[in-house]
């Protein structure tokens, strides 16, 4: 009898087009209604943040973290994609 692989990672539907999901090697499944972007276990949740997106919507991550406040997960991980180029002007 062939053993079926149950998803080890639940991925929020909002992350379906995220390039990170294409790199997942563990079995995963997309699920709606998750406050987290990735749910690794009952006690570990992950949020994903693109710095380019954060520069456009700086309150986004605060709102997402607030949504997790009622979550029973003890460990929260933030994955940041460093896709923004910051230019600092020289001050004279």
User: pLDDT tens-digit profile of 36-83?
Assistant: 999 998 889 999 999 889 989 999 999 998 888 877 778 999 999 888
Please tell me the predicted confidence (pLDDT) of residue 8. Answer: 87
- Classify domain 9-81 at the CATH class level: alpha beta
Give SS3 for 50: strand
The Cα–Cα gap between 50 and 34 comes to 19
All residues at 6 or more sequence positions from 23 whose CB lies less than 8 Å from its CB, including other chains: none
Pick the more confident residue, 2 or 82.
82
| pLDDT exceeds 80 at position 10 | yes
């Amino acid at each position: 009898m062939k053993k079926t692989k149950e998803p080890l990672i639940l991925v929020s539907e909002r992350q379906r087009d995220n390039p990170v999901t294409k790199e997942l090697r563990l079995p995963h499944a997309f699920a709606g209604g998750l406050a987290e972007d990735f749910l690794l276990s009952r006690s570990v949740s992950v949020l994903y943040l693109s710095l380019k997106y954060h520069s456009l919507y700086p309150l986004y991550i605060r709102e997402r973290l607030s949504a997790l406040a009622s979550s029973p997960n003890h460990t929260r991980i933030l994955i940041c994609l460093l896709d923004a180029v910051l230019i600092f002007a020289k001050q004279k």
